[in-house]
Structure 1
Amino acid sequence: MSLTVDLNADMGESFGPWVMGRDADLLRIITSANIACGAHAGDPDVMAETMALAVENGVGIGAHPGFPDLQGFGRRRMHLPHKTLANFVRFQLGAAQAMARAASGRVRHLKLHGALGNMTSEDAELARVCYDAALSVDPDLIIMVLTATAQEEATRALGCAWAGEIFADRAYNDDATLVDRSRPGAVIHDAGVAGPRVAAMVKAGAIITGSGKEIPAAIDTICLHGDTPEAVDIARSVRAALEAEGVALAQFEGRTA
């Protein structure tokens, strides 16, 4: 049976004159884009430009909400009342929808950013608060989850469409969560390592952790970070490795089981 997988990247994270990431280059390689909504990064001009480039390249558009933490790039954990957090998710999704429509596109998926993503991968109740808020705005939204974590548990409980994600450039713990960025080896910088590693996981249908443990997982999409110097080289390596193994590349459709 032939395998198909989506390639996604977080982008639209520049702010005013400060450029973050090589979005234009990545949009020629990936099939889905997670676009910052102004809370952890991005601004209206950056959002508009990134949405337009995604439409131009035929790339699927996703909202990428995070904590309201520009200084910390959304990577600092915050503890907000559930009502407030739900409204932050709705607020950011609405901004993304407006910008996408103005660019003749549409938001088809949602992926949580940074610390918010990490916290919801550990806490299904918190994940459900965020996802339920997003689905209250658009019930047809596909939720991108860190596969085999509490995020997946939350989407299954909600019965919504979801897509399982693994990371090309991040190391995994044995519980399928990401190794904290403060730990040595948490981020993979070698494109020659990233490509074959991802291809092996897709073929195995499993996350391969730092210890070598294989965790069976739904792998629908692979995240290629855009905010590292080697981002484009890693993206090209991953795409080439997958194609060499006969894996087709296409936007995910979302699953409900």
Structure 2
Amino acid sequence: MKIVIIGGTGQIGSKVVARLSEQGHEAVAASPRTGVNTLTGEGLREVLVGADVVVDVTNAPDWEDQASLDFFTTSTRNQLAAEVELGVKHHVALSVVGSREMPGSGYMRAKVAQEDLIVASGVRYSILHATQFFEFVPWIADASKGEDGKVHVSPAHFQPIAADDVADFVTRVAVGEPVGAVEIAGPDRLGLDEAVRMAVPDADVVSDPAVGYFGADVDDTTLTAGENAWLGEQRFADWVGVALRG
């Protein structure tokens, strides 16, 4: 099976390429590094010739509201148009748990726009709504640092997932039948503030419900998955232990 991974040289994409290749599939990494630009269309049609499945695990390089919207809508439209033309059977995309519950975030509005384009395209699809990755927590801490030097984060519940588990789920879906929309998450629910304290023990963390999550209001359900979610195996505390040991 030929599977083209858009964003195949990135954090998740490279793992998916490796897993698919180990299973004997023709896994093609497509990104600007490999001569494929989904914004301009350069190399896109050529790489999709003969593809059975397209997996999109790209992320916007700029999280500013309009920039992220332009990225996700332009890239997705170009992919889907080429897929329809070439008869690609399955489009797989990675999105975010709670994207529709966080309209205050321009990035989340952009992800919703991406999802809507996929659903309306006529291409059979799987959209994996993932919670935030373990590896993203230190970045959250850095981005949440105030002028007082303290890290201001919400105590809302959080259910992070390991990047390796994300890659496993994406790989499973890519080689199977389309599943529509599915949530994937880690096995542990904890406060976002608690997660930051665990991952960045030197941070001076202030638990502040008013700060929300990157411009969006959140509660204990926004950043956690529903009861039918697929759960990864790696536990957050185990990952932290390994990460802190360096």
Common fold: TM-score over 0.5: no
Larger relative contact order (CA 8 Å, sep ≥ 6): 1
TM-score for the superposition, normalised by structure 1: 0.38
Q: Which has the larger radius of gyration?
A: 2
TM-score for the superposition, normalised by structure 2: 0.39
